[in-house]
Structure 1
Amino acid sequence: MKAEYDIVVIGFGKAGKTLAAKFSKAGKSVALVEKDENMYGGTCINVGCIPSKRLITDASKSPNGEFEKKAQYYKEAVAEKKKLTAALRKANYDKIAGAGVDIIDGMATFKDVHHIIVSTKDKNVEIEAKKFIINTGSLTVIPDIEGVNSKGIYTSESIMNLDKLPKKLTIVGGGYIGLEFASMYADFGSKVTIVQDSDVFLPREDDDIAKSIREVLESKGVEIVTGARVTKLEEGKLYYEVAKESKTLDSDVILLAVGRRPNTDGLGCENAGVKLTDRGAVETDEHLKTSANNIWAAGDVCGKLQFTYISLDDSRIIYDEIMGEDKRTTENRGAFSYSVFINPPFARVGMSEKDAKLAGVEYKVLSLSANAIPKAKVLRKTDGMLKALVTSDGTVLGAALFCEESYEMINFIKLAMDHGIKAKDIANFIFTHPTMSESLNDLFIM
């Protein structure tokens, strides 16, 4: 460990580790500071995308039969998940260390704009750097509810280490994280109830899409309670009010899934002149530079789009400004797509009907039932629907795909949108057969 570096990255997330390796290979002296050795590689690898999607995949193969049989299968799936994350954690550490980056275990706190104090297990170390990258990610929001620290209450991170399958699972929050866990645990064999405070299920999505997703979840036995205010939690019980009526819900396990917040705790941003937003996120410009001229921020800590691939693109923007042509910005990366890994998965890019109406944009709706797709019949997964918005000249405004393999298909549509490919071009594109993607031939017929 040296006392001075060209660049210090705080946080081992996607953007941070990518930038650390690239800067080091470019000849810069680089250190990466990570406060938790169980988070090498970042949220995605350890407590986010990878472990949850591994469990979701295993859940879709859960055996039929008695609950005890399902519970044993679940226990084995969790054990395999732990092996996977441990292997990825080591691989990430070895890759970054092998790139010549000094990895420092400890909590970083800014002393001033050019210095941080790193609290390690043994001592406090002062480190100087010309430039800093903040990539500390996000934390689960813990709601202010009586009894929130009771036994049997989990977050999206901690529940993935629970090796006993709950017979009854209650999820507080009807957002995308909550839906993924609801679908997964229902597939594993749990009786799942979602309790959300909003009166509207999936308010960000169009009504027809939300209705289709809700119907599929309910067909798995998932109960969805809207307009519910949770008043108290305790082991095995959740208390809530709906239309001023008090109710109680028994549950083996309660999952808190009400969102995530930027992780700036203990960073001492004020000591370096780094401004935070009202929500506690690091404030950045379109180049992801903070209010301090030598400090940038990337990923969830910026309080914007909480996706691993956005964090990766953030790294491209920062690297381009420091080492490249300074052309990439958050404003010119085009439409972004996202996927929700329920079963079947849901993916969207660009405008919804709600967005188009709000913006006063004229549009035409194109739609297709997943049941009409030959590959869906082959897979025996025909639930869902596909929907696209186009202008009169065929410009693609957006799409929502609720069907098997939608998480792959949506990338093709984003590429089409980014490069001005029209609906007729997609309708006439030659896809391989039988595939889910060839359904876009039919979807984009105007």
Structure 2
Amino acid sequence: MRHHDLVVIGAGSGNAVVDDSFAGLDVAIVEERWFGGTCLNAGCIPSKMLAYTAHVARTVRDAGAHDVDAELRTVRWRAARDRVFGRLDAERDSGRRDREQEDAITVYEGSARFTGPRTLRIDRPDGPVDISAGRIVVAVGGRPLVPAPVAEAGLPYETSDTVMRIDAPPRRLAVLGGGYIAAELAEVFAEAGSSVTIVEKEQRLLGPQDETVAERFTELVRSRYDLRLGREVTALGGRPGALLLTLDDGTTVDADMLLVAVGRVPNGDRLNLDAAGITTHDDGRVRVDRHQRTSAEGVFALGDVCSPVPLKHVANREAEVVAHNLRHPEDLIACDHELVPAAVFTRPEIASVGATEQDCRDKGLDYRVGMADYGDIAYGWAMEDTTGFCKVLAEPGTGRLLGAHLMGAQAPTLIQPLVLAMTLGIDANTLANSPYWIHPALTEVVENALLDLDL
């Protein structure tokens, strides 16, 4: 049995753990599927590249609002897809080659599972191999969740892992789910020419978002999609290319293609964690402490397999923490998930950080709400924006910011001053009145929301 000083299982954010500071150690990286993980191959990056293409198409469609005569002839789907994945697949292959060429790193292609404390069996195309390690990092990510009525039907369906690589957009696309993945991909295919039906068990899309965001976004997209809200799929029938979804109220949806986007599950259940003494939460996430250590000595975990906030920027931060703690076991640092910003790259874009208004109510907090519309600032006039807004939540008296939510152009960028203020403890009054805010920039919507707080 070959022994390594360090084994990293998963080459997404796990690959970022190993840098030049690990020189001199015998390191192995195990990857079952693709270097770069979900983000590079089937998640954050390709979806945003295609979302931007969709936004360009929407800009052409809406050009008349700015007295510009323009006509959208078509979105060249296959060309767009090949542009996106031609670049990303090259990045993935380059990442693998670079690791394989490093003298002190062994790359194992295959799926790993624990056979005991810090021992692994790797099932490779050319046969299994057993290895052991002084320390191990579990970074195997997650996968799309597929409901039983779909999984058991024996009919084809797509997930975010596959749908962006299809050869042509379907004429009729049914999207199962109403979260951020469903919303982003629905827009991509709607702008590419698909007629979209969304089936969501909640009464609003983007349910985890602040209630104002979820309500307004749902109303905005009613004219774009056929929304079946408060509904679940009980059966999937028909045949490939002519699917029939039966909903729990007896109604049906005809579709040429089904996209399942109801959420994701961690991949820890594929690792035989019990053999290693690694415990999990009820939802399958690997349990880790503030230092990303699992219950098994010498084993760390990071990313979607363990994180309460399964986002790429969180996984990257956790990778930094793990790398430090591997190098400096006498000086551990912790990972803080308290104030993690997030964004949805639809049109309009959405961004959030901290508590929602419903969170504040549920916790019985004393809070104030500040609101400002894009349409009330000069750059909003330039954009002819009638729907965008910024909402901030703060504690009366102290002005401590509790949460912030934006819906509109550049929302993921505009929220960053609020993220900084909340992270650094800058109160709402100081943030609103101390720095200059450029006029007439979109940042004025943030300034005005802060000034609207009755503290």
Q: TM-score, normalised by structure 2?
A: 0.89
Contact 1:365 1:390 in 2 (8 A): yes
The 1-side partners of 2:269 and 2:338 are apart by 31
Q: Is 1:364 aligned to residue 363 of structure 2?
A: no
1:281 aligns to what? 285
Change (3 A) 1:101 1:407: farther
2:93 aligns to what? 90
Matched residue SS, 1:126:
strand
* Range 252-261 or range 57-66, more displaced: 57-66
- The C-alpha deviation readout for 1:69-128, integer Å capped at 9, x for no partner, is 52x512211111220221221232245446653222121121211221222221222222
The 1-side partners of 2:150 and 2:348 are apart by 35
The 1-side partners of 2:110 and 2:101 are apart by 20
> Which amino acid in the other structure matches residue 166 of structure 1?
P
1:425 aligns to what? 430
- The C-alpha deviation readout for 1:138-184, integer Å capped at 9, x for no partner, is 01111100575555521111110112122221111111111111222
The 1-side partners of 2:28 and 2:156 are apart by 39
* Range 123-132 or range 192-201, more displaced: 192-201
The 1-side partners of 2:210 and 2:81 are apart by 35
Q: Is 1:217 aligned to residue 221 of structure 2?
A: yes
1:31 aligns to what? 28
Post-superposition offset of 1:196: 1.1
* Range 309-318 or range 348-357, more displaced: 309-318
1:436 aligns to what? 442
- The C-alpha deviation readout for 1:204-247, integer Å capped at 9, x for no partner, is 2333221211122224x1122112121211342333335xx411
Post-superposition offset of 1:363: 0.8
Change (3 A) 1:417 1:121: same
Contact 1:382 1:403 in 2 (8 A): no
Q: Is 1:116 aligned to residue 111 of structure 2?
A: no
Q: Is 1:323 aligned to residue 360 of structure 2?
A: no
1:414 aligns to what? 419
> Which amino acid in the other structure matches residue 369 of structure 1?
D
Contact 1:261 1:303 in 2 (8 A): no
Post-superposition offset of 1:434: 4.4
- The C-alpha deviation readout for 1:348-374, integer Å capped at 9, x for no partner, is 000111111111111110011122243
Q: Is 1:261 aligned to residue 260 of structure 2?
A: no
Contact 2:354 2:403 in 1 (8 A): yes
Contact 1:396 1:417 in 2 (8 A): yes
Contact 1:274 1:292 in 2 (8 A): yes
Matched residue SS, 2:158:
strand
Post-superposition offset of 1:431: 3.7
2:407 aligns to what? 402
2:356 aligns to what? 352
The 2-side partners of 1:13 and 1:140 are apart by 16
Change (3 A) 1:185 1:54: same
RMSD between aligned residues: 2.3
Q: TM-score, normalised by structure 1?
A: 0.91
1:57-76 correspondence to structure 2 within 5 Å: 57-62=52-57, 69-70=73-74, 73-76=76-79
Aligned pairs, number: 435
The 1-side partners of 2:288 and 2:51 are apart by 34
> Which amino acid in the other structure matches residue 436 of structure 1?
L
The 1-side partners of 2:378 and 2:152 are apart by 47
- The C-alpha deviation readout for 1:365-412, integer Å capped at 9, x for no partner, is 001112224334445555322100011222111100111111122222
1:228 aligns to what? 231
The 2-side partners of 1:412 and 1:319 are apart by 28
Q: Which runs of 5+ in 1 are unaligned?
A: none
* Range 257-266 or range 140-149, more displaced: 140-149
Contact 2:266 2:305 in 1 (8 A): yes
Post-superposition offset of 1:304: 1.9
Contact 2:400 2:426 in 1 (8 A): yes
2:390 aligns to what? 386
The 1-side partners of 2:297 and 2:317 are apart by 21
1:19 aligns to what? 17
Contact 2:198 2:228 in 1 (8 A): yes
Q: Is 1:48 aligned to residue 53 of structure 2?
A: no
Contact 2:309 2:337 in 1 (8 A): no
> Which amino acid in the other structure matches residue 57 of structure 1?
Y
- Of all paired residues, the percent bearing the same amino acid is 30
Contact 1:147 1:233 in 2 (8 A): no
Change (3 A) 1:263 1:390: same
- The C-alpha deviation readout for 1:292-341, integer Å capped at 9, x for no partner, is 111111100115211001101111222333323645323x4541111111
Change (3 A) 1:136 1:147: closer
Contact 2:174 2:198 in 1 (8 A): yes
2:66 aligns to what? none
Matched residue SS, 2:143:
strand
Q: Which runs of 5+ in 2 are unaligned?
A: 62-69
Contact 2:244 2:252 in 1 (8 A): yes
2:67 aligns to what? none
Change (3 A) 1:22 1:148: farther
1:107-186 correspondence to structure 2 within 5 Å: 107-145=111-149, 150-186=154-190
Contact 2:377 2:440 in 1 (8 A): no
Matched residue SS, 1:400:
strand
Which of 74, 81, 102 in structure 1 is aligned with 2:84? 81
> Which amino acid in the other structure matches residue 322 of structure 2?
I
The 2-side partners of 1:258 and 1:60 are apart by 24
Which of 190, 193, 200 in structure 2 is aligned with 1:196? 200
> Which amino acid in the other structure matches residue 238 of structure 1?
L
The 2-side partners of 1:147 and 1:423 are apart by 49
Contact 2:142 2:266 in 1 (8 A): yes
The 2-side partners of 1:406 and 1:241 are apart by 35
2:4 aligns to what? 5
Which of 233, 241, 249 in structure 1 is aligned with 2:247? 241
The 2-side partners of 1:66 and 1:380 are apart by 19
The 2-side partners of 1:169 and 1:283 are apart by 38
